[in-house]
Amino acid sequence: MTSTGIRLHAPAPGWSIPADVVVVGSGVAGLTAALRCQAAGLTTVVVTKARLDDGSTRWAQGGIAAALGEGDTPAQHLDDTLVAGAGLCDEEAVRILVTEGPDAVRRLIATGARFDESSEGGLALTREGGHHRRRIAHAGGDATGAEISRALVEAVRERGVRTIENALVLDLLTDAGGRTAGVTLHVMGEGQHDGVGAVHAPAVVLATGGMGQVFSATTNPSVSTGDGVALALRAGAEVSDLEFVQFHPTVLFLGPGAEGQQPLVSEAVRGEGAHLVDAGGVRFMTGRHELGELAPRDIVAKGIMRRMQELDAEHMYLDARHFGAEMWEHRFPTILAACRAHGIDPVTEPIPVAPAAHYASGGVRTDSHGRTTVPGLYACGEVACTGVHGANRLASNSLLEGLVYAERIAADIARSPLQARDPHPLPQSERPAHPLLPPEARFAIQRIMTRGAGVLRSEASLAAAADQLERLHAEARDALAEHGKTAEPGVDTWEATNLLCVARVLVAAARLRQETRGCHWREDHPERDDTAWRRHIVVRLDPDRTLATRTTDGTDFPPTLHATQEQ
Ligand code: SIN
């Protein structure tokens, strides 16, 4: 696979450093990959967009799922994962996850992560949606991600892994043969490594997290702008399953116009016995699924949306008043504090909740060693599509996936012959080849995507979204063509350009998939269609700037559906 030659418009790199491996991102996946690479004797550099602990991992509440409890087995964890994935999980990828998972969690504990213990002294395990067993390990009650992040950041510092913070990755560097040769990045730092530079390395691990910021309301932090997926597309890598965006059912409702990162109310609250009710106190999930309020996440999100439609309501409620103050304070201190900060006391009143964008089940397509279709480029964590999640990720499988596949990537890199590669020279021209979007385009994209490609989708809503996204792009392209002008290179304009890139692919894939499956809900195609759609949509950006789409079973789309878009 060769690079498309499409790059973010940016100044030429003013500095460079060499490494064996550059890891982009510092969540559970990135830091685990970095620690394992360093332990294997590889010169490793971690670059991360903000501070080391500013990504999505820190915000994870519920926990990390693994068959660690008495009577539980990897086979049962596999079954629950496959059911949640609605026919699209790669069974081998899931088998790897569930069999390697328990030991990977034990290694995480050995690295320093402290999980909550039960009164008998073993790990305290809880339940979440779609799990038939108590198998979610948690820390600090509902601060699991924060504890994992603390332990890994501490280990990275103690073991002297080189890190570059406040560094937005721009593009992949490749050699003349199309093999990975490093990345370009922009650092907001001081001194030697400031501005645009490069890390030259024959192995690049993308662990950049998700793209929740493509929607107005999301549980993701502001850094989750799809940078890794956009970089991979420009580098010529394949991405898959982008239409499967998971909307978390219970996000604190802060009003209809709430934008940006919203407080999560973990599924573990339902796992411990909270009820979903409407304004009249009716438990509307009863009878909709055998697991009721603990059904897989897509089913609960749909149940909430349907009840909201039936009652013309803006939100539903999560009622856990029966927990009492002590349990709230001990088991869910983070959620309690977030609710109280917004004037809601869950001890005495039900919590208003509504679904919001939470997790990208798709991403950069990899094999079972985390290799993408570009030699030397790896991906793990939310940015990757390993095949584990299928059409809908099972709750708390993501931290585990980051951990297990990061370890596999490090093992693969350690056993490959690594040879420094000369990056293909970057074109030097005053005039940008491709337009950048202005910073305010971010909010336009978020509104377009929320209206047209949110929880409920249809051909009409998706076509409108595609047109509006196209208009944003056309304005930027025409300004460049007619006046040689584009937005100033900078973090805001690079992020907005990345958001547009992933939004367009997401909408194209969502239009193609004319069925309802997992977290992809088409009002105009309300049934799951296993005859036509038990396959994945794979997208690649071609050098001629079209999106090439294919399905994993080799059959093509009807010509009218074949998505080709000018970039
Ligand atoms: C939650 O705590 O509900 C989120 C866990 C996850 O997304 O896996």
Helix orientation angle between 333-341 and 324-331, rounded to the nearest 10 degrees:
110
The string of pLDDT tens digits covering residues 291-300 is 999 998 889 9
Distance 396 CA to ligand 1 centre (A): 5
Q: Is 396 in the pocket of ligand 1 (CB under 6 A)?
A: yes
Would you say 69 and 372 are in contact if contact means Cβ atoms under 8 Å apart?
Answer: no
pLDDT at 424: 83
Sign of the Cα torsion 117, 118, 119, 122 reads negative
Would you say 545 and 6 are in contact if contact means Cβ atoms under 8 Å apart?
Answer: yes
pLDDT at 555: 66
Would you say 137 and 63 are in contact if contact means Cβ atoms under 8 Å apart?
Answer: yes
Q: Is 395 in the pocket of ligand 1 (CB under 6 A)?
A: yes
Q: For the domain made up of 436-532, give the CATH fold.
A: Methane Monooxygenase Hydroxylase; Chain G, domain 1 (1.20.58)
Would you say 333 and 142 are in contact if contact means Cβ atoms under 8 Å apart?
Answer: yes
β-partners of residue 547 are 541
Distance 272 CA to ligand 1 centre (A): 14
Q: Is 382 in the pocket of ligand 1 (CB under 6 A)?
A: no
Would you say 14 and 170 are in contact if contact means Cβ atoms under 8 Å apart?
Answer: no
Distance 61 CA to ligand 1 centre (A): 6
pLDDT at 562: 42
Distance 198 CA to ligand 1 centre (A): 35
Helical segments of 113-235, H only? 144-158, 227-234
Would you say 170 and 206 are in contact if contact means Cβ atoms under 8 Å apart?
Answer: no
Q: For the domain made up of 252-355, give the CATH fold.
A: Flavocytochrome C3; Chain A, domain 1 (3.90.700)
In 3D space, the residue among 374, 356, 368, 375 whose CA is nearest the CA of residue 401 turns out to be 368
Rounded Cα gap, residues 82 and 12, in angstroms: 46
The residue assigned the tokens 């068959």 is 67
State how far the alpha carbon of 458 is from the alpha carbons of 38, 461, 465, 524, 562, in Å. Answer: 47, 5, 11, 5, 17
pLDDT at 475: 93
State how far the alpha carbon of 497 is from the alpha carbons of 7, 13, 230, 378, 438, in Å. Answer: 11, 20, 9, 22, 8
pLDDT at 546: 78
The string of pLDDT tens digits covering residues 269-278 is 999 999 999 9
In 3D space, the residue among 114, 102, 126, 113 whose CA is nearest the CA of residue 28 turns out to be 113
Structure tokens at 441: 């385009």
Sign of the Cα torsion 496, 501, 502, 505 reads positive
Q: Is 303 in the pocket of ligand 1 (CB under 6 A)?
A: no
Sign of the Cα torsion 46, 49, 53, 59 reads negative
567 residues of the chain, pLDDT tens digit each: 557 888 999 999 999 999 999 999 999 999 999 999 999 999 999 999 999 988 789 899 989 999 999 999 999 999 999 999 999 999 999 999 999 999 999 999 999 999 999 988 899 999 998 999 999 999 999 999 999 999 999 999 999 999 999 999 999 999 999 999 999 999 997 777 889 999 999 999 999 999 999 999 999 999 999 999 999 999 999 999 999 999 999 999 999 889 999 999 999 999 999 999 999 999 999 988 989 999 988 899 989 999 999 999 999 999 999 999 999 999 999 999 999 999 999 999 999 999 999 999 999 999 999 999 999 999 999 999 999 999 999 999 999 999 999 999 999 999 998 887 888 877 766 677 889 999 999 999 999 999 999 999 999 999 999 999 999 999 999 988 888 888 899 999 999 999 999 999 999 999 999 999 999 999 999 999 999 999 999 999 987 767 888 888 776 655 444 444 433
Distance 393 CA to ligand 1 centre (A): 10
The one-letter amino acid at 143: A
Ligand 1 nearest-atom number relative to CA 246 = 7
Sign of the Cα torsion 185, 186, 187, 190 reads positive
pLDDT at 75: 98
Q: What do you get for the CA distance between the two ends of the chain, in Å?
A: 19
Residues of the chain with CATH 3.50.50.60: 15-244+361-415
List the helix and strand counts (H, then E) for the chain: 14, 23
Q: Is 261 helix (H, G, I), strand (E, B) or coil?
A: strand
- Assess whether 297 carries a catalytic annotation: yes
pLDDT at 559: 42
Considering 95, 150, 297, 365, which one is annotated as catalytic?
297
DSSP labels for 496-508? HHHHHHHHHHHHH
In 3D space, the residue among 145, 41, 143, 221 whose CA is nearest the CA of residue 400 turns out to be 145
Ligand 1 pocket test, pick from 318, 396, 401, 519 with the greatest ligand atom count within 8 Å of Cβ, gives 396
Which residues have CB under 8 Å from 310's CB, separation 6+? none
CATH architecture of 15-244+361-415: 3-Layer(bba) Sandwich (3.50)
CA 117 vs. chain centroid, Å, equals: 29
Residues of the chain with CATH 1.20.58.100: 436-532
The DSSP 8-state label assigned to residue 559 in this structure reads: G
Structure tokens at 145: 């991600």
pLDDT at 429: 66
pLDDT at 567: 37
Residues of the chain with CATH 3.90.700.10: 252-355
In 3D space, the residue among 190, 251, 203, 269 whose CA is nearest the CA of residue 454 turns out to be 251
Q: Is 268 in the pocket of ligand 1 (CB under 6 A)?
A: yes
Q: Could you tell me the pTM of the whole model?
A: 0.94
Would you say 389 and 57 are in contact if contact means Cβ atoms under 8 Å apart?
Answer: no
State how far the alpha carbon of 441 is from the alpha carbons of 129, 259, 304, 437, 509, in Å. Answer: 36, 15, 31, 6, 22
The string of pLDDT tens digits covering residues 458-471 is 999 999 999 999 99
pLDDT at 532: 93
Rounded Cα gap, residues 390 and 408, in angstroms: 20
The residue assigned the tokens 């539903």 is 316
Rounded Cα gap, residues 302 and 300, in angstroms: 5
Q: Is 62 in the pocket of ligand 1 (CB under 6 A)?
A: yes
The b/e string for 327-362 (b: 16+ C-beta within 10 A; e otherwise) is: bbeebbebbbebbeeeebebbeebbbbbbbbbbbbb
